[in-house]
Amino acid sequence: MIRNAVKASGLEPSDTNFGATANRLRAERGMDAIGQLCIPEVERQTASLILIDGIRGDSEVNLFRKVFPGFTLVRIDSSFGNRLSRVMARGPFG
């Protein structure tokens, strides 16, 4: 959703613009702003299982629980080193 917002704003896809856009959306719409943007997209899907990755806080979790009664939160732990090596392997804007 953040990538879509960056593109819609005519900005270059960069870590700086992704972060600034996410921060702006949360400042304008609240801490569940990204979740709010996800809801219409999830509702358009016809699959029996939808995966949302990158949830950033309790506000988004609470919103998804309210809107989608069957919502299940899955947490995956990985060390910083593992996450860093995966990000580096994906390359820019992976």
Reduced to 3 states (helix: H, G, I; strand: E, B; else coil), residue 55 is coil
Give me the pLDDT at residue 94, please. 53
Average pLDDT, the chain: 93
- Judged by phi (left if over 0) then psi (alpha if -120 to 50, else beta), residue 74 lies in beta
Percent of the chain at pLDDT > 90 equals 82
Give me the pLDDT at residue 93, please. 60
Confidence check: pLDDT of 81 > 70 = yes
Confidence check: pLDDT of 32 > 80 = yes
What number of helices (H) and strands (E) belong to the chain?
A: 5, 0
Q: What is the mean pLDDT of residues 70-75?
A: 93
Question: Quick one: tokens of 29?
Answer: 């719409």
Distance in angstroms (rounded) separating the CA atoms of residues 23 and 21: 5
Question: Quick one: tokens of 16?
Answer: 């700086």
Give me the pLDDT at residue 87, please. 86
Distance in angstroms (rounded) separating the CA atoms of residues 89 and 70: 34
Give me the pLDDT at residue 92, please. 72
Would you say the C-alpha torsion 35, 38, 40, 44 has a positive or negative sign?
negative
Give me the pLDDT at residue 40, please. 97
